[in-house]
Structure 1
Amino acid sequence: MIGAITQSELKRLFRSPLAWTLLAVVLFLLAFLFLAFVDNFIHQIQPSNTAAEKPQGATVSIVTPVFTWAGIIMLAVLPLLTMRLVSEERQKQTWSLLAASPAKPWQIILGKYLSILFFITLACILISLMPLSLYSGTVIDGGQLFSSVFGLWLLLASLTAAGLYFSTLTSEPGTAALATFGLLLFLYVLQLSATMPGATSLLFYYLSPSSHYTPFLAAKFSSLHIIYFLLFIITFLWLSIRRIKNEIIFSQNNKFISWGKLAVGLCTIAAVAWLSAHYPLQTDISRQKKNSLPAEAVAVLKKLEGPVSITAVVDNKPEIHRRVRDALEPFMQSKKNITLEFVDIKLQRLQNKDSLDQRGQLVLEYNNKSETLHNLEQNQLISSFYRLAQGKQQWIVFLEGHGESNLLDTGSQGASKLASILKKQGYKTYSHNLVRSPTIPDNADMLVIAGAQKNFLPAEIKIITDYLQQGGALLWLHDDENLHSLEPLLEILPVEFLPGTIVNADPAIQKLIGSEHPAVFPVINYNNHPLAKDMDGQTVLAFARAVESTGQPPWQVKSFLQTLEASWNETGSLQGHVKHDADNEQGGPLSVGLSMQRPIGEQQQRIIVIGDKDFMTNELIGYGRNSELATRLFNWLGQNKIQFQISQQPIPDAKLEINPAKLNIIAVVFLLLLPLIFLFVGLWQWRLYRYRT
């Protein structure tokens, strides 16, 4: 019986021009938005991905906004379809025939509901074809696409059930449509009201469908959101069946019994909702698990054997509380003995806590140690957990006074971005002038000489060499032909600098990195070095010198930055066309970075020498894997027991390579061909309808 009713409703639906016209309009609008997002990605986002620290993929930039708008547009369309399900039959006086049929009320309601579900499913399939068409030019995140389609389907299915219920309440389709629109507006207002203080805002947030739809767009699969939509559907279908049953079957039961059943049903639904909200099961189905903690962060949390307490001193607003919980949720999922407590920032200020940041703060406490944060960035949180696990902060001393890159300089050749990255990684940095204070601080865990441009004094050289002889860790960045009096370091370290500047004149390589200068080149070979374990992608260096090992024992030397074969050390002018002189210049691959170790007592002394300083400057540190390489260098030098670095996973869909011809075909199909076909069928059905009447 349900199948017969569904089939009858489908014939009625698709024999009217309304369904076809709505499909044409929806597809045209979404295709227009889809092509606009594609154009924006190709011309705006994709070029900036080369230098971006966090590149944006095509899935996030195109698929997510398309499905966001799909939810909005389809919610405006649905009331026009659901309004006719029952009220139109009443208006045309065919409802009495259906009510007198052997079909039971629940069969009538399910049959009509399934017919609109078919339309919804067809619309979701057509919408999903748009991002699928990009597979020829990039790798769309299949998990996120599936989650978005499934979330859209649940959203539309739930609002269809509500529209069906309102259609059972009246004999005027227009009234049913307005009532459904009113419900949508009410639910939207509920979401806005969820930002207000008070316990009721938590209920408003839960009742709003959009708050449960948004996580699906990010590939967050949670039983909380799935159960919400299922309860929404069940509630309105149950109310529809109850309404039809009371109309068709004149029950003699006591009204109190009827209302009692209603109360029991609503209480059962509320209980299931409460359980799903307090005991959710969730998973991340995105391709790279981007909603989950990185493996490195999980390893840090495992080092914290005892409980961790977090106190959030913030405004007593549910919206802020939700943001804090959402930020800490991955950590609390990975480490079960993390407790979270909220303290009203206004009460704290009343207690004369003048030092409290106006924005609020998070206080992480573990084993009598604490960390204070003023934002919810995941990297900052991981760094705080890392510092708690490590117990001791490491100090990095940067020498200054010889033209080295300055930690406070925000210009292109400064190192302020490096200082910020190191701070987030849990390091303390300090700029030190050996003339002003002729000794290296005792708490220095490593020393950095970042591109000296002026000569060192003999006394300064003596301090540095003594530091090395005592087993100190050193990062030496140097790309100048002049060593500026640092030659004594080469007597201790098994390294020498080759003459000239490394170049790579391959036009394809220059186009890849977005620079026409041959002295700017990529490095993709890290020689399986432990400090670059599992690191892929390119680092970008500029005006660098090649370095070679002299192989003097007891040093263990290994190259970890090697150029491509098409490179060489150019000893002539870099102006105009450069050409390799095979007789006097060494061809690639060339070493740009060397690591060296030797035993000093029970410790291993670690040194890194790199023939380039520019990759750590503000100008280039955001390119490729430069920032990741920088943190890995210091982690290796510091010999951290917890090797903490968040390896940036490559974004497979960071590039969309699709030729204009294919893009034109996609535009014609989705923007013109399919909408015109649906519109033509709709006009044809309208003509047949006029002929039949």
Structure 2
Amino acid sequence: MTTLHRTLRRLDSWLFAALAILAFAAAGYLATRYHHVADWTHDARASLSKESRAVLARLDGPVEITSYANPQGPLRQGIASFIARYQQTKPDISLRFVDPQLDPGAMREKGITVDGELVIRYHGREQHLDDLSSEAPLTNALERLARGGDRIVAFVTGDGERRADGQANADLGTFMHQLEGRGMRAVPLNFAQVTAVPEHTDLVVLASPSAPLPPGGVQALVNYVADGGNLLWLTDPQGPQPLGNDLGLQPLADALGVTVLPGTLSDPSGSALGLHDPHMIALGDYPAQAITRGFTLTTLFPEVAALAAHPGRDWSAVPFLRSNPQTRIDTGQPDLDSQPGRALDFGFALSRLSPSPAKREQRAAVVGDGDFLSNTYLGNGGNRALGERLFDWLLGDDALVNLPPRGAPDRFLQLSQGGLNAVTFGFLAGLPLALLLVGGLVVWRRRRY
């Protein structure tokens, strides 16, 4: 090798080193100017959920978060890392820390009782939060701020309805307790004590009455609907006659343009899913509607009444719950039973221009089963998620309609015995042999040249 060749090789080495240093310096400079985060986990579970991003999109101004956390220990760092995920989506979220030990009297006056407690302020409103164990508590607090206050949900009581605060199997206490964390407040509405739906009621729920409502109560509901109020009517099968006639609710059914058909849906194909009762209706596919758009979870309905909507009214009635073609209506009288062969609707979402000048759109929903939200069946599949979507839609919070909970299938690796043996052999024998072969090839090439 000549002197010129050696000089050129040294120059080439120095040039490569200079270019590498320049590349690293450029990468470091760009890293300080630009910020990029990539989440490669399944369904992006390490990032904010779509639900949280939808809530943040509803916040049209800055959000101020104050954390009263002790500066000693890792608590502040953990809180800052958690809030940083929200700041990536909404940069005008600010976070500041206050040492609660500097002024204990002021902390008591502010109601700060937990180290690390957050006070979230938005448009003059505030929420206190002392739980950051998961994304849900903070998102729920932001959702309550986005709503502008609690939504009043009035539950009709006094006629054997499902109780919003009850713990019995048929009641809705568990479901409503979860909704309270999202800014909805349940109040009783007993027509034996009042003659009309109170003002400032955002939604009235008629949850499976088992006794006839007083005529004044039915008329109050009809007037409420006529004035533009939002309504959720949960029905249950109750004999061979139409439910509206049994309970004196025909005027309400007429006002909505929906008929509750007599009998109970029966689906023998549920046995393939392990359902021994043909009256148990399982759904995994839904008609296209805002409530069920993108919803893929399986839901279970224990006893279902079929519904029919009357065309030509001012309401727009769109089905969002529909059985499969194998179902039929069982009335207990064989000569009146329907034959399988067509799908049957049992959930309708109704909307129209609101008669009230204070509202743009009026919404109502009728579902032919009230058990799916009860304490007994709420935990089955996507029942809770569907109920939350239904309430969000009825309250007009379309952007807050919940999406199904995201799983994390990449946390587990399921292998057959053959696959496990292959992985074991690969790590214990295959990988070391491959390294030895590569090392031997490198040594042979060096000795050769």
Bin the TM-score by the shorter chain. Answer: 0.7 to 0.9
For residues 657 and 569 of structure 1, what CA distance do their matches in structure 2 show?
A: 44
Aligned 1:489-508 pairs, distance under 5 A: 489-506=252-269
Residue identity in the other structure for 1:532: T
- The structure 2 residue matched to 1:589, chosen from 326, 330, 343, is 343
How far residue 671 of structure 1 moved from its aligned partner, in angstroms, is: 5.8
Residues 270, 281 of structure 2: 8 Å contact kept: no
Cα 1:337–1:476, aligned 2, differ >3 Å: closer, same or farther? Answer: same
Instruction: Answer yes or no: is the 8 Å Cα contact 1:349–1:356 preserved in 2.
Output: no
Tell me the percent identity: 24
- Does the Cα contact within 8 Å between 1:494 and 1:552 map onto a contact in 2? no
> 170, 183, 208: which is aligned to 1:413?
170
Instruction: Kindly provide the amino acid, as one letter, of the partner of residue 634 in structure 1.
Output: F
Q: What are the Cα deviations for residues 390-432 of structure 1, in whole angstroms up to 9, with x where unaligned?
A: 3343211111222222222234322122113322332222222
Aligned 1:347-426 pairs, distance under 5 A: 347-351=102-106, 353=108, 355-358=111-114, 360-376=116-132, 377-426=134-183
Query: Are 1:298 and 2:50 an aligned pair?
Result: no
SS in structure 2 opposite 1:543? coil
- Worse-superposed segment, 550-559 or 666-675: 666-675
Cα deviation, residue 610, structure 1? 0.4
Task: Give 1:664's aligned amino acid.
Answer: Q
Give the TM-score taking structure 2 as reference length: 0.78
| Equivalent position of 2:437 in the other structure | none
User: How big is the shift at 1:476?
Assistant: 0.1
Shift in Å, 1:489:
1.2
**Number of the residue aligned with 1:664:** 417
Structure 1 Cα separation of the partners of residues 179 and 260 of structure 2:
28
After superposition, the C-alpha distances for 1:71-113 in whole angstroms (9 at most, x for unaligned) are xxxxxxxxxxxxxxxxxxxxxxxxxxxxxxxxxxxxxxxxxxx
Aligned residue runs from structure 1 range 247-326, under 5 A: 281-326=36-81
The offset of 1:292, in angstroms, is 1.6
Q: 1:548-559 residue pairs with structure 2 within 5 A? A: 548-559=308-319
**Would the aligned equivalents of 1:545 and 1:612 in 2 still touch at CA under 8 Å?**
yes
C-alpha deviation, 1:359, in angstroms: 5.3
Q: Distance in 1 between matches of 2:158 and 2:289?
A: 33
In the aligned structure 1, how far is the partner of 2:187 from the partner of 2:339?
38
- CA-to-aligned-CA distance 1:615-665 (integer Å, 9 cap, x gap): 11122222222222212212222223x52133125648499998xxx7232
Give the secondary-structure state (helix, strand or coil) at the position aligned to 1:608.
Answer: strand
Q: Deviations over 1:533-569 (max 9, x none)?
A: 2222322211111111122512221111001122222
Supply the distance in 1 between the matched residues of 2:185 and 2:210 (Cα, whole angstroms).
Answer: 25
CA distance in 2, matches of 1:621, 1:436: 31
User: Which residue pairs with 1:344 in the alignment?
Assistant: 99
Distance apart, 1:296 and its partner CA = 4.2
Q: Is the 8 A contact 1:307 1:337 kept in 2?
A: yes
Q: Is the 8 A contact 2:191 2:217 kept in 1?
A: yes
User: What's the counterpart of residue 335 of structure 1?
Assistant: 90
SS class of match (2:294): coil
Which residues in structure 2 correspond to 1:458-607 (within 5 Å)? 458-481=215-238, 482=243, 483-506=246-269, 509-511=272-274, 515-572=275-332, 584-587=337-340, 588-599=342-353, 600=355, 602=357, 603-607=360-364
Match of 2:193 among 436, 443, 468: 436
Amino acid aligned to 2:178: I
For 1:406, the aligned partner's letter is: R
* 8 Å contact kept, 2:48–2:85: yes
Q: Which moved more, 1:329-338 or 1:592-601?
A: 592-601
Partners of 2:419 and 2:316 lie apart in 1 by: 57
Q: Name the SS of the counterpart of 2:108 in structure 1.
A: coil
Matched residue, 2:5 = none
Amino acid at match of 2:313: P
Task: Name the CA distance, whole Å, in 2 between partners of 1:559 and 1:286.
Answer: 36
The structure richer in strand per residue is 2
* Residues paired across the two proteins, number: 400
1:588-613 deviation line (CA, Å, top 9, x unaligned): 41101012223325543221110000
- For residues 657 and 541 of structure 1, the distance between their equivalents in structure 2, rounded to whole angstroms, comes to 33
Please tell me whether the aligned partners of residues 524 and 563 of structure 1 are also in contact (alpha carbons under 8 angstroms). no
For the residues of structure 2 that align with 1:289 and 1:617, how far apart are their CA atoms? 32
User: More helix by proportion, 1 or 2?
Assistant: 1
SS at match of 1:605: strand
Q: Deviations over 1:116-149 (max 9, x none)?
A: xxxxxxxxxxxxxxxxxxxxxxxxxxxxxxxxxx
Does the Cα contact within 8 Å between 2:321 and 2:345 map onto a contact in 1? yes
Cα 1:278/1:345, change in 2 over 3 Å: farther
Query: Partners in 2 of 1:655 and 1:350 — Cα distance?
Result: 46
Amino acid aligned to 1:457: P
- Distance between the aligned counterparts of 2:91 and 2:308, measured in 1? 50
What secondary structure sits across from 1:632 in the alignment?
helix
- SS of residue paired to 1:339: strand
Distance between the aligned counterparts of 1:459 and 1:678, measured in 2? Answer: 81
Letter in 2 for 1:572: G
Cα displacement (A) at 1:461: 1.7
- How many angstroms apart in 2 are the aligned matches of 1:518 and 1:344? 61
Amino acid of the structure 2 residue aligned with 1:361: E
Alignment check: 8 A CA contact 2:54 2:399 kept: no
Q: Matched residues in 1 for 2:87 and 2:219: separation?
A: 51
Match of 2:202 in 1: 445
Shift of 1:352: 6.2
Q: Which residue of 2 aligns with 1:614?
A: 371
> Closer, same or farther in 2 for the Cα pair 1:670/1:440, shift >3 Å?
same
| Residues 45 and 408 in structure 2, CA contact (< 8 A), matched pair in contact too | no
Letter in 2 for 1:420: H
Q: Alpha carbons of 1:473 and 1:670: their partners in 2 closer, same or farther (altered >3 Å)?
A: same
Contact 2:291 2:401 in 1 (8 A): no
User: SS of 2:237's equivalent?
Assistant: coil
Q: Is the 8 A contact 2:264 2:303 kept in 1?
A: yes
The whole-number CA distance in structure 1 between the counterparts of 2:305 and 2:226 is 26
Deviates more, 1:461-470 or 1:471-480: 461-470
Q: 1:320 to 1:442 in 2, by over 3 A?
A: same
Task: Flag the 1:335–1:638 CA change in 2: closer, same or farther, 3 A.
Answer: same
